Structure 1
Amino acid sequence: MGRVLGIDIETFSDVDLIKCGVYAYADSPAFEVLLFAYSFDGEETQIIDLAQGETIPAEVESAIFDDSITKTAFNANFERTCLSRHFGTKLSPGSWHCSAVQAAMLALPRSLEDVGAVLGLDKQKMKEGKELIRYFCVPCKPTKANGGRTRNLPYHAPEKWELFKTYCKRDVDVEKAIRQKLNNFPIPESEMEMYRLDQEINDRGVLVDLELVHQAISCESLHKEIVTKRAYELTGLENPNSVAQIKGWLTGRGMEIDSLSKKAVADLIKETDGEVEELLKLRLLMAKTSVKKYEAMERSVCKDGRVHGLLQFYGANRTGRWAGRLVQVQNLPQNHIVDLELARNLVKQGRFEDVELFYDSTPNVLSELIRTAFIPKQGCRFLVADFSAIEARVLAWLSGEQWRLDVFASHGKIYEASASAMFHVPIEEITKGSPLRQKGKISELALGYGGSVGALTSMGALNMGLAEEELSPLVSTWRNANPHITQFWWDVDVAAIKTVTEKRETRVGRITFFYQSGILFAMLPSGRKLAYVKPRMAVNKFGRNGLTYEGIGESGKWGRIETYGPKLVENIVQGTARDLLAEAMLRLKKRGYQIVMHIHDEVVLEVPDGVSSVEEVCSIMAEQPDWAVGLPLRADGYECAFYKKD
């Protein structure tokens, strides 16, 4: 790695780091770096007290700008972004290494404190840190006791300040210890290349239509006011938003109900009329929040009008997929309004009465317009390209389900083809509105990773018109039509268990399992490895002996997690789909395209008017990597003047 400069900084800003992200945080005029701790090549850690007039030594400053010297930090994006602001020049991610990414690649926690605890380091992150950060790094409330000040400075609490300096140094020491502990598992250069691209995408950000954002927030506020006023008039309740008061009002009209959940209220509306029906409809309108993402855009936007830092590299550390941050672009509402541009213009122009007049639900309109708040810069348009049925294609390829590969290599109509294979009906007879296509679709969405009746139900099978007694036969029919996929689940299960119990390499098709340093690795076709820490056999929830490992569970806490073949296959398929997207983005970058964000299996490019085409971008996306021979890839796309779902 050559020379290495380990860094940790402590900073002040009046912008909320968690809610607004590091780019807006460092963009504030009030931002400053307070403490700078560093260590060259593992030597003793030094601290520079910038808040009290000390300056970063020339050798250190030179190293920060020297691309031949590796700068490393835990969550290096924070240090790099803040130091870019401190020096007044953008620091390229090219020579930065993130030990949080290195930890995530081994499926370890993403926080310095938690990684230190899991690894059992001699030096741990200091517990006093949170209180010290609250004291020195964020504004304080003015009180009589503190003389009405809005910020705590070093001289206000000298002992705390000295402890804060120790805390900052300790973070460098803990980060050094983590790197040392993970020395046998360096980040591969292919992933470092992807990390650098990820940082470039986050640095670039995406432009936001702030006028639309402001008007959407105003529209929601006005609509809520009108709806709440009508609920007051109708019920006479002190607080028509109160669940207890609404239940009491309904009881007085002969309706005893257990829940006022969205689904329960929607079902009740079908059975009621008059004032009760109107109140229930008002309840749905009052409960619907359409502006949280608009508010996230508003508070996260920087002076350049763009929101940065929307994506977390290796955010899903089981598969390596990205996670959404701030606006959470990974779960934006879809848009189904036919005249989307008209609705957008009405809201943007503040014509809220016209929105009420033309559309059934103002909150739904605002919700569907969220995507459209992302816009290309002047002289550009968005080119959007999305892998088609990527997980289904990867699953068929890995398992060798040939009839599915043939479908994907030809017409690609997997729902129709699945129904045809399941029910032995010619595919020509399965049309878009046919019940058989519906069964094929729900089976495809729910059953690929060992799902059964519960998965079909969770996916909404009963709401789609299927009867409960149809579900179990549907599971059997799908599995019978896909014998290689079903076999692949259990082959993977056997291979993983064999690797853990016998501590030897096992191969299943294109997947290799091996055991190293207390970790079960599943090597994907790309060569990237998924990690399962401290695997062992234990009695699972079904009362059978099964595979378990340590990781971050659904509660967000570190603990022991159960797994089995179909779940491992889901990780493997999603990890492979992630690698296909990653390599496609690298190809797009090398051909001069600027990616502003990506959502699941879709990329959004900001492209000058008159340059390139959807067809060209989709062609690049569908290029087959060397390691994916025989995998039929396809991408579909569109261009737009504002982001939307085509």
Structure 2
Amino acid sequence: MDKIRKLSIDLETYSPEELKKCGVYKYAENPEFEILLFGVSVNDSEVVVYDIACGNEPPDEILEALTDNSVEKWAYNASFERVCLSVWLRRHHPGFFKGYGAPDDSVKGYLDPTGWKCSRIWGAYNGLPLSLEMIGAVLGFEQQKLKEGKDLIRYFCSPCKPTKVNGGRTRNLPKDAPDKWALFKKYNKRDVEVEMQIQKRLKNYPVPDSVWDEYHIDQLINDRGILCDTAVVENAIRIDALTKADLMRQLQRLTGLENPNSVAQMKDWLAQQGVAIDSLGKKEVAALLNEDIPEHVKQVLRLRQMLAKSSVKKYQAMQTAMCSDHRCRGMFQFYGANRSGRFAGRIVQLQNLPQNHLLDLEEARDLVKRNDYAALDLLYGSVPQVLSELIRTAFIPKPGMKFVVSDYSSIEARVLAYLAGETHTIESFARGEDLYCATASAMFHKPVVKHGINGELRQKGKIATLACGYGGSVGALKAMGALDMGLKEEELQPIVNAWREANPHIVKYWWDVDAAVMKAVKLHLPSQVGLVYIYYQSGMLFIKLPSGRRLSYVQPRIGQNQFGNDCVTYMGIDQQHWERIESYGPKFVENIVQGVARDILCFAMKNLRDRFIVGHVHDELIIEVPMETNMQEICDIMGQTPDWMPSLLLRADGYECMFYQKD
């Protein structure tokens, strides 16, 4: 065999765990986990399928290459192959396994991601779908992913139900269906071939080394995982079950209904009380509770709201994903949002955890940890609400360590003002002023001080900042809850107008970007708009960010918007479908700003890679550090400005905690 420089790999595996729910780390950790088929191309040669389930294993040269960082290992969703091979090598070929990381780091059980690259990331970087089947269809490959694959995976890769027909077996083996097994091997081979076609097709659109470095840091964080307090998780699930049973009994007693959780039954009961409602959604019920309806009906609706609270699902997700060392791994997906390149949450979804507002957070947490349901029920009006606010606190540092949580202050507003040259906002940041007060002052031409002079205008500055930065108007203000905050309908358009008049450089930046995008798509001519470079190349629209990373838009065209004006459209994922998406200047600016904010967070991750980063949420890092670590030192490192935006005013604030929380 020639010296191995590159491997393209696809695995077919078996585990009784449900992969989508628990993630690959728990899936592969199960004692019954096996690699069934190992499809591999060496140095872009013909794909060979090693039938491991039938005793045909890869040669030693390939096993050695798996831990050689000078050999490029490619796979589609490469984290799956890397983690599965880590476990398989440790169990069956320990002499070939090599871990990585510091001796006290929980990544040591996995193969070093440095030598691995992922063709899904390559596709996402270029604006393509995340599904292998969809990317093959979009790129028009001659060899497509075999459609029979899902049935074959269901047949061989998961437990089966014992029946008389199958002789009571709980798993299908190759000997149980030789024809299907032969087709499964063909499917495995085809997946490697499709993955190699992606590499070939995208060779002129490479992913920069800096982005691969970010991917490897992402894999490090996923390998490390975040420790869970098992007592809090398990007791929260127990307490929730007791609470739900108690709420159900109360509702049955008050309504006489067999199942008060049934929408149809509850609507009928409400109608009998003279209360008609089309939907029992959160907003509709909240609105109804503010109306003049009988008190006993309000009591029922409040109890039903508590019953419907789904916070326990987060605890169940933690319990399902937790590895044997009680760490949840695989919580983050690199390039989960391919319009901006931002990360996406997976499994427990740290990106959308409820906030905590309990003043006695630690005391409430201790009651859950002690499984003291009676005290929780006695001391708090809503046990489900308490459990919801305690979800973050189930994540803890390992013994002898603490968490430092550090996040950027108003990162998107800072980036937008910097890119657009909106001097009044930049100067207010330089003076350390409250952003919403400064915005309101610029909007209404009078001083605004939080809890002071004209303080009532701060709320208008806040809602305008959040809603109007990317072209939002009255509809955006409403979506942000402007009416719920007490603003009147007739106030909304004047707020939009005042914000735009106070931020003329941002408004100009929207339309400068819009004009540059139109010029690139219509005339194929490039433009420099401030720090971003917009150009068309080989059927793609690219926006090069200050970091050097590109945003990619596939098959851009000139279309017409709802007003009959020209606009740019492109192909992308919208609501899980690959379809044509309409866009315009402010939306492209949103992509740019969020993309730059993402690059700044990745810059901080690189600077802090020698610390134990265990998680990140939007613009926040969660870092496990020794007790003697100075928190401000972490914040200072995070607040460093990259050389590609030298005068950007960044500020990172932080706090220390012995369980994860919102400060």
Query: Fold match, TM over 0.5?
Result: yes
Does 2:473 correspond to 1:452? yes
Match of 1:614 in 2: 631
Match of 2:366 among 345, 354, 370: 345
The whole-number CA distance in structure 1 between the counterparts of 2:532 and 2:563 is 27
Q: Calculate the TM-score normalised by the size of structure 2.
A: 0.95
Partner amino acid, structure 2, of 1:566: P
Does 2:292 correspond to 1:274? no
Match of 2:306 among 285, 293, 300: 285
Partner amino acid, structure 2, of 1:27: E
Contact persistence 1:24–1:302 (CA under 8 A): yes
Moved over 3 A (4+): 427-433
The whole-number CA distance in structure 1 between the counterparts of 2:388 and 2:532 is 41
Match of 1:515 in 2: 536
Match of 1:82 in 2: 84
Match of 2:604 in 1: 584
The whole-number CA distance in structure 2 between the counterparts of 1:456 and 1:165 is 55
Deviates more, 1:30-39 or 1:278-287: 278-287
Match of 2:106 in 1: none
The whole-number CA distance in structure 2 between the counterparts of 1:17 and 1:72 is 21
Deviates more, 1:90-99 or 1:564-573: 90-99
Contact persistence 2:448–2:458 (CA under 8 A): no
Partner amino acid, structure 2, of 1:5: L
Percent identical: 55
Match of 2:264 among 226, 236, 244: 244
Contact persistence 2:336–2:343 (CA under 8 A): yes
Match of 1:230 among 223, 231, 250: 250
Contact persistence 2:409–2:653 (CA under 8 A): yes
Does 2:648 correspond to 1:639? no
The whole-number CA distance in structure 2 between the counterparts of 1:596 and 1:302 is 15
Match of 1:562 in 2: 582
Alpha-carbon distance change, 388 to 432 in structure 1, aligned in 2, over 3 angstroms = farther
CA offsets 1:216-237 (integer angstroms, 9 cap, x no match): 0111111010011011111111
Contact persistence 1:416–1:430 (CA under 8 A): no
The whole-number CA distance in structure 2 between the counterparts of 1:206 and 1:159 is 43
- State how 1:139-154 maps to structure 2 within 5 Å: 139-154=159-174
CA offsets 1:410-460 (integer angstroms, 9 cap, x no match): 213110001111111123486399320110111111110000000000000
Which runs of 5 or more residues in structure 2 are unaligned? 91-96, 98-109
Matched positions, count: 642
Match of 1:42 in 2: 44
The whole-number CA distance in structure 2 between the counterparts of 1:412 and 1:84 is 50
The whole-number CA distance in structure 2 between the counterparts of 1:103 and 1:435 is 48
Match of 1:486 in 2: 507
The whole-number CA distance in structure 2 between the counterparts of 1:428 and 1:326 is 42
Question: 1:613, CA displacement in angstroms?
Answer: 1.6
Q: Secondary structure at the match of 1:138?
A: coil
Deviates more, 1:273-282 or 1:429-438: 429-438
Contact persistence 2:23–2:347 (CA under 8 A): yes
Match of 1:628 in 2: 645
Q: Secondary structure at the match of 2:551?
A: strand
Question: 1:289, CA displacement in angstroms?
Answer: 1.4
Contact persistence 1:533–1:549 (CA under 8 A): yes
Q: Calculate the TM-score normalised by the size of structure 1.
A: 0.98
Partner amino acid, structure 1, of 2:355: Q
- State how 1:165-564 maps to structure 2 within 5 Å: 165-270=185-290, 271-428=292-449, 431=452, 434-553=455-574, 555-564=575-584
Alpha-carbon distance change, 442 to 157 in structure 1, aligned in 2, over 3 angstroms = same
Contact persistence 1:10–1:36 (CA under 8 A): yes
The whole-number CA distance in structure 1 between the counterparts of 2:468 and 2:281 is 28
Question: 1:257, CA displacement in angstroms?
Answer: 2.3
The whole-number CA distance in structure 2 between the counterparts of 1:529 and 1:432 is 45
Contact persistence 1:383–1:613 (CA under 8 A): no
Match of 1:573 in 2: 593
Which runs of 5 or more residues in structure 1 are unaligned? none
Question: 1:496, CA displacement in angstroms?
Answer: 0.5
Partner amino acid, structure 1, of 2:223: D
Q: Secondary structure at the match of 1:462?
A: coil
The whole-number CA distance in structure 1 between the counterparts of 2:4 and 2:59 is 20
Deviates more, 1:271-280 or 1:71-80: 271-280
Does 2:615 correspond to 1:594? no
Question: 1:44, CA displacement in angstroms?
Answer: 0.6
Question: 1:274, CA displacement in angstroms?
Answer: 3.4
Partner amino acid, structure 1, of 2:10: D
Contact persistence 1:2–1:68 (CA under 8 A): no
Match of 1:67 in 2: 69
Partner amino acid, structure 1, of 2:420: S
Q: Secondary structure at the match of 2:186?
A: helix
Partner amino acid, structure 2, of 1:63: A
Q: Secondary structure at the match of 2:184?
A: helix
Deviates more, 1:231-240 or 1:385-394: 231-240
The whole-number CA distance in structure 2 between the counterparts of 1:316 and 1:360 is 39
The whole-number CA distance in structure 2 between the counterparts of 1:641 and 1:621 is 21
- State how 1:23-172 maps to structure 2 within 5 Å: 23-88=25-90, 89=97, 90-172=110-192
The whole-number CA distance in structure 1 between the counterparts of 2:162 and 2:433 is 64
